[in-house]
Amino acid sequence: MQKHKTEFDAIVVGSGPGGATVAMDLAKQGRKVLILEWGDNNPKKGTFSSMVTRALIPGRSAVMTSQGLPVIRAITTGGSSVIFCGTAFDPPVDMLKKYGVDISAEFEEMKGDLPMVPLPDELMGPGPKVFEESAGDIGFDVKRLIKFIDPSKCKLNCQRCMYGCPYGAKWDARDFVDKAIENGATLINHAKVNKVIIEDNKAVGVEYRNNKEIFLAYAPKIIIAAGGIGSPLILRESGMQSTGYDFFFDPLIFVYGKVKGLGCGKSVPMSSGIHFPEDGIVLTDFNLPRMMKVGFDLELLKVKQAFLYKDILPIMIKIRDGLGGTLTNNGWIKKPLSKNDVKRLDKGAEHAKRILKNAGATDIYKSWRTAAHPGGTVKIGEQLDSNLKTKFDNLYVCDCSVVPEEWGLPPTTTLVALGKRLAKHLFALESPTREEDLAISMPAFKQTDVTRLAAAVS
Ligand SMILES: Cc1cc2nc3c(=O)[nH]c(=O)nc-3n(C[C@H](O)[C@H](O)[C@H](O)COP(=O)(O)OP(=O)(O)OC[C@H]3O[C@@H](n4cnc5c(N)ncnc54)[C@H](O)[C@@H]3O)c2cc1C
């Protein structure tokens, strides 16, 4: 059994884009950071089997909603960014400003830390090219999307973004975790945090399980960044019962068509897209990996289609769903789609069909629904103040759960910017001008060894 004799300035729980950013920025400023991550830190091999172990284990990384929508997240260092498509949408700066949160400066800063460019023509596979041409031909405002991808390392006709890019082309939050470690942070994997230790209304540490044993770790700042599903579960155990309600999860479907002569079905997914902000709909090309397509087709018993891959052009339709639902204490999601949500999905599917037909596609069909961005479970303005602080002193949240309103776009850019802002806020708290505040709000530094509490938890 490993014992950790370290003193920490901050504990970050979860290493997705939100947590990894705060951890990196704190470590770069010389703070001693402990990152506790539930998942593994195995190398990214870019294989389907590695995606299965990280993101498709029922009840752990994949949950089925009450209406049968699979919702997946990756439990691994880097969180869901390891399997994400690497598309960078601008943050909802104006929406967040309404809540006293301005991330415009941090959004500009992050552009220096990350590859954020559209894919060049030579990396556009045949599917995305046809999508772009056909949508433009119809008159849709189709745009090349910004990617967290370094084109110089990306490969044409590769499709391993969602299996965990093995070439270092797609940025993911592991990059920030590595930088945090280079700057002195400690990462403990297979460390599942159960709850925050609260004393006199102040967070002083966390309880976590590692290799079937329970440990305690202490620090004067605790940042929960376990994602839209993980964070509310930890916070409920810590005395914040109101978390995990009225959230969004950005439902999506695929519409497929067969375009004769299209050829290879492989390419970077979400290279180009169309946004209908009023309708809350986004359409993109989406060459999903073969095994994922097989899974989606078999879900609807489309056995014949499951084995067609060449010449197939998939289009993804993602919508802004209304807030609703309940997360159970076991992490299951009860969130029926509203009539309006279904209408939006149908409207998006009609747009996709037009694009496919215009491209000469036949055999057009729709997939079942899924969802990929659970958030809004610990909202700014409700459970958090504008500095992402909870009702407990020294306890912060920084991940997709903090987004206060349904928004409908992939959130990673926003989470990185929020992480940078939170790290700055934590430094500001340490500044001499705030000494008085600190005397009131900070407990005496309680940095003891990580302590083994009990053994043999099944
Ligand atoms: C298939 C797919 C494609 C996507 N494509 C895009 C895209 O193109 N662009 C985009 O912007 N977004 C995309 N997303 C969404 C994006 O990946 C997530 O919104 C983002 O990763 C969320 O970051 P986070 O920090 O909130 O949480 P996560 O990335 O979920 O990270 C949370 C971390 O906390 C850990 N954790 C959970 N519980 C505990 C616990 N109790 N103790 C310790 N650790 C814990 C998890 O293992 C994980 O590492 C995609 C998502 C999926 C699933």
Question: pTM of the full predicted structure?
Answer: 0.93
337-377 pLDDT, tens digit per residue, is: 999 999 999 999 999 999 999 999 999 999 999 998 999 99
pLDDT above 70: residue 454 = no
Number of domains making up the chain = 1
The per-residue pLDDT for 289 is: 87
397-428 pLDDT, tens digit per residue, is: 999 999 999 999 999 999 999 999 999 999 99
CA–centroid distance, 134 to ligand 1, in Å, is 32
CA–centroid distance, 441 to ligand 1, in Å, is 31
Residue 85 maps to a domain: yes
Q: For 7-21, 184-198, 293-307, 377-391, which range has the lowest pLDDT when averaged over its residues?
A: 293-307
Cα–Cα distance measured from residue 438 to residue 433, given in angstroms and rounded to the nearest whole number: 10
CA–centroid distance, 414 to ligand 1, in Å, is 13
CA–centroid distance, 99 to ligand 1, in Å, is 23
- The CATH number that applies at residue 85 is 3.50.50.60
Specify whether the CB–CB gap between 309 and 178 falls below 8 A: no
Residue 35 maps to a domain: yes
257-304 pLDDT, tens digit per residue, is: 999 999 877 889 999 999 999 999 999 999 988 888 898 899 888 998
The per-residue pLDDT for 51 is: 93
Residues with CB under 6 A from ligand 1: 13-19, 36-39, 72-73, 75-76, 79-81, 83-87, 162, 192-193, 225-228, 230, 234, 270, 372-373, 399-400, 410-412, 415
The per-residue pLDDT for 6 is: 52
Q: What is the mean pLDDT of the chain?
A: 91
Is residue 307 very low, low, confident or very high in pLDDT (cuts 50, 70, 90)?
A: confident
pLDDT above 50: residue 434 = no
- Please choose from 77, 84, 284 the residue to mutate so as to test ligand 1's pocket, defined by most ligand atoms within 8 A of CB: 84
Q: In what order do the strands lie in the sheet with 395-397?
A: 186-188, 33-36, 10-13, 222-224, 395-397
Cα–Cα distance measured from residue 37 to residue 188, given in angstroms and rounded to the nearest whole number: 6
CA–centroid distance, 63 to ligand 1, in Å, is 14
Residue 81 maps to a domain: yes
- Please choose from 40, 81, 149, 208 the residue to mutate so as to test ligand 1's pocket, defined by most ligand atoms within 8 A of CB: 81
Domain range holding 31? 1-41+76-114+171-244+376-458
315-345 pLDDT, tens digit per residue, is: 999 999 999 999 999 999 999 999 999 999 9
CA–centroid distance, 58 to ligand 1, in Å, is 16
> Averaged over 232-253, what is the pLDDT?
97
CA–chain centroid gap for 369, Å, is 18
Residue 272 maps to a domain: no
Q: Which atom of ligand 1 is nearest to the CA of 61?
A: 47
CA–centroid distance, 74 to ligand 1, in Å, is 6
The per-residue pLDDT for 273 is: 98
The per-residue pLDDT for 55 is: 93
Is residue 443 very low, low, confident or very high in pLDDT (cuts 50, 70, 90)?
A: very low
The per-residue pLDDT for 113 is: 84
CA dihedral 299, 304, 310, 312 (to 10 degrees): -60
Specify whether the CB–CB gap between 381 and 404 falls below 8 A: yes
Residue 353 maps to a domain: no
- DSSP, residue by residue, 165-210: -TTS-B--THHHHHHHHHTT-EEESSEEEEEEEEETTEEEEEEEEE
Q: Which atom of ligand 1 is nearest to the CA of 400?
A: 26
Residue 90 maps to a domain: yes
In the chain, how long is the greatest CA-to-CA distance?
71
- DSSP, residue by residue, 287-318: ---HHHHHHHHHHTT-HHHHT--TTEEEEEEE
Residue 359 maps to a domain: no
Three-class HEC string of 148-175: CECCCCCCCCCCCHHHHCCCCCECCCHH
Specify whether the CB–CB gap between 205 and 217 falls below 8 A: yes
Is residue 433 very low, low, confident or very high in pLDDT (cuts 50, 70, 90)?
A: low
H or E segment at 36? Answer: strand 33-36
Residue 228 maps to a domain: yes
Gyration radius of the chain's alpha carbons: 22
Task: Tell which phi-psi region holds residue 376, choosing left (phi > 0), alpha (psi between -120 and 50) or beta.
Answer: left
> Averaged over 7-23, what is the pLDDT?
97
Cα–Cα distance measured from residue 162 to residue 150, given in angstroms and rounded to the nearest whole number: 16
Residue whose CA is at the smallest distance from ligand 1 atom 37: 226
**Residue 415 in tokens:** 């989470």
Q: Which of 249, 187, 228, 241 is nearest to 390 (CA)?
A: 241
110-144 pLDDT, tens digit per residue, is: 998 899 999 999 999 999 999 999 999 999 999 99
CA–centroid distance, 434 to ligand 1, in Å, is 34
